[in-house]
Chains A and B, each alone.
Chain A
């Protein structure tokens, strides 16, 4: 996916200084290597949970709302508007989705939830684009407002204490017949690598909700729209250099508005997923920071759809560990982390960065000691894992990440004339 960017926007993005291109074969090799390592760790530690089918399907289910929020963030930021309000837009999505869902069926719920998110997006767009208010300030205000509005409306619409809505009918899910059983079987054998891959794939074809499928499809769709269509090119040009875009006849306000409204719609869909698929009802506080995590996943993925999908997957996976045998499984992952750190240290030695190598090795040794002297880690470590990983990734790669150049900058119509 990184290669595609550069082919398509040579004028906008000069080759990242000193950055190595991650080509598809290399990426596949890295993924294969990671899988093989995970498999080794699983066999050494006996923590079969880390790649089992139900673990993977839970991970997928938890990754979807984060990924949708991240996609929402991507649309807005590619057009140059920072969207901290994703959290609030998701909250609107959960409420509106459940409200329409329990009365007129889940599909109507999805539609209304998206509209709810779009309304949040529209509000953010008016405040940031027309009134030029600082994007983060507007987002924070939107989060407060969405929380208040749904809390106020919930008792009126759902009756009772209003902390929870009536049940929404299920959307239905599907399992690829035959294939799923075969993969579950393979996964149970506990073979090196093969069982792990079977677990991963099994998670993707067992009890998958239709909405999950739509969400997953939205990732390549977003990439295609933003990087392969004239519409997308114009939209991204607003995030890179709105003045230049305007001078070329692009209606910057229109594209920014559209992008932020779509952003709200995607976040709203993420909210609907929580209140229709993950749980069949609205619950106060259901979103619990997933909007922020989506934003982190997007930054983690360097403002690219593929990258953010990987980020969302990572968050979803660590979250799922939290639900299923976290203490033991994360303990096993400590070994994986130690091995990765040692590999990193070797890599740094090859690149002649000796100080960094020694530091990395030391951290690796510490993690290994932690692994060796304990039997399990406290659950709190599990829940903090995704956030710590994000911070580490940001710290280690901040210089290589590149956000849209005019992201978060104020822009007034007519600057390009």
Chain B
């Protein structure tokens, strides 16, 4: 038994390691092909990670990636593809900014109000897709893609000057939020300030782990993700679980934009980061839907983002980081699948050998083929 566990650990680590090595190798090939030094960019980017101001930037950025990836991961655990995290977090951030600009309660009430606004906006938007899925059988992938586009239009409408918008120069904004809704950061002096809501991101990660691994609900969710029919047979209502997972995912997505909104910009404007929802998909995959894994993946992603602008000063193009992100996602999914199949084959061989040796079937440790939902 013990030996087997070690092998499982090895297999779990092999996936991401192989993927990263392959991605780095492929990126180096791209660099060589475009006539650049294939090693120096990494050295430059590693050097960036040693500066404390860049570290702060990385942590701040990672907090948002982390929450978005958790939102995606909730769906993955249930075999749902919430492609709509992007629309959900943007709309939620905007609604929060609007509420924050028009309501002024004391901070202990204001901040929870803002958080709830974000959660409920995200839930509302993902709930549309969820309801369509359970009542009408509409694929959540297509529905959330449509809802992303509609969210863009809704945002475009909401920040018209005659609705909720305020024009600041050429920039559409929602106006400055009331100060009681600002979340103070952790001041690190010259290095900058870590967003206060980074702590929220950590708490969400813990909550994600506890709910999925230590509660009845989490068990039901994972069970229906692994096999809807088996879960239904043990009394889990699949439709209810789909809707619940979709709502949870949307609620989580709603929070993804808040670290920067409440911690730094205090307004939703054209400059607000976009596309975090799509990156969240890659990060959740890389982290294998596991809260610790996702944390590492989010930090890796944020590092690629925040360290790459330095490349521009050394005659490299910072877009190499985007290529790398794409290659990482691709090699991660391929290597996870390859490693999984390899593990399965080894296991089959061993079971076959033990059976041939005359062991009883029940004695073989073949109960470890945990189905890996959407992680492939």
Which residues on A are within 8 Å of B, measured CB to CB? 84, 123, 127, 131-134, 136-138, 140-149, 151-153, 155-156, 289, 292-293, 295-296, 299, 378-381, 383-384, 387-388, 390-391, 394-396, 398-399
Contact = CB atoms under 8 A, between A and B. Distances in A.
Contact of A137 (B139, B143, B285, B327): B285
B323 A149 contact: yes
A370 B153 CA distance: 18
Contacts of A141: 282, 326, 329-330, 333
Contacts, number: 139
Nearest to B158: A380
A381 B137 CA distance: 26
A296 B141 CA distance: 10
Contact of A133 (B320, B325, B327, B333): B333
A142 B330 contact: yes
Interface residues of B, number: 47
Interface in B236-286: 278-279, 281-282, 285
B30 A383 contact: no
Given A147-B322, A152-B320, 17 more contacts: A127-B330, A131-B338, A133-B333, A134-B333, A134-B374, A137-B281, A138-B330, A141-B326, A141-B333, A144-B279, A145-B329, A149-B323, A296-B142, A383-B152, A387-B147, A394-B138, A399-B137
Interface in B110-124: none
A183 to B, nearest CB: 34
Contacts of A395: 132, 136, 138
B334 A131 contact: yes
> Which are the 10 A-B pairs with shortest beta-carbon distances?
A145-B326, A148-B322, A384-B153, A152-B319, A380-B157, A141-B329, A148-B323, A144-B326, A151-B319, A380-B153
A378 B136 CA distance: 30
Given A141-B330, A398-B136, A131 B325 contact: no
Contacts of A384: 149-150, 153-154
B153 A136 contact: no
Contacts of A145: 323, 326-327, 329-330
A395 B142 CA distance: 11
Contact of A147 (B81, B141, B326): B326
A149 B326 contact: yes
Contact of B142 (A142, A295, A381): A295
A380 B156 CA distance: 6
B317 interface: yes
Specify the main secondary structure of chain B where it touches its partner. helix
| Most A Cβ at <10 Å: residue of B143, B326, B334 | B326
Contacts of A289: 149
Nearest to A300: B142
A396 B150 CA distance: 18
Contacts of A379: 156
B361 interface: no
Contact of B333 (A138, A381, A394): A138
Contacts of A123: 330
A166 B326 CA distance: 27
B211 interface: no
Contacts of A153: 34
A387 B146 contact: yes
B153 A381 contact: yes
B231 interface: no
Contacts of B321: 148
Nearest to A395: B136
B337 interface: yes
A293 to B, nearest CB: 8
11 contacts: A131-B338, A141-B326, A144-B325, A145-B330, A151-B322, A152-B319, A295-B142, A299-B142, A384-B150, A387-B147, A395-B132
